[in-house]
Amino acid sequence: MKSVDKAKKMIGDHQSFVKYFMISVFVTLIDILVSWGTEFIVPVIYANSIGVLTGFIIQYFMTSKYVYNKKNIKVFIKFFITFLIGFVLADLIIYLFRIIIFENSEKLIVFMISKGFSIVIPFFVMYFIRKKWIGQEAKVKE
């Protein structure tokens, strides 16, 4: 089997993860831009929180439609609870890196390192919790 065929099969086998990942990449870019931009106006932790909240809203609508194929109050509550877990985890990571490890450094590389860890770790934590708790229904083809 060719490498391309293997890649296509792997993507097909893990389609919900690939969709979730692509949505998360898009949301992450928005989160980073909002966080970085608001750091000039508000303290670091608030700026990160504003970016994460913006991402949550966009991600909920996109993943409920393209990944979980569910959009109701029960799914929203589960999504919001898992968001809160990721939100607290992301802010703790930002605090650990920006305030404790890098001693309030305002350098761009410090921002990128701390933001990177605050994105990657909660991404996997939330994906696996949501996959287990929300699940996925097959989309009916029209």
- C-alpha pair distances (Å), 65 with each of 13, 68, 126, 130, 137: 19, 6, 17, 14, 11
Q: What does pTM read for this prediction?
A: 0.69
The reported pLDDT for the residue numbered 136 is 60
Mean pLDDT of the chain: 85
- 66-81 residue pLDDT tens: 888 777 888 889 889 9
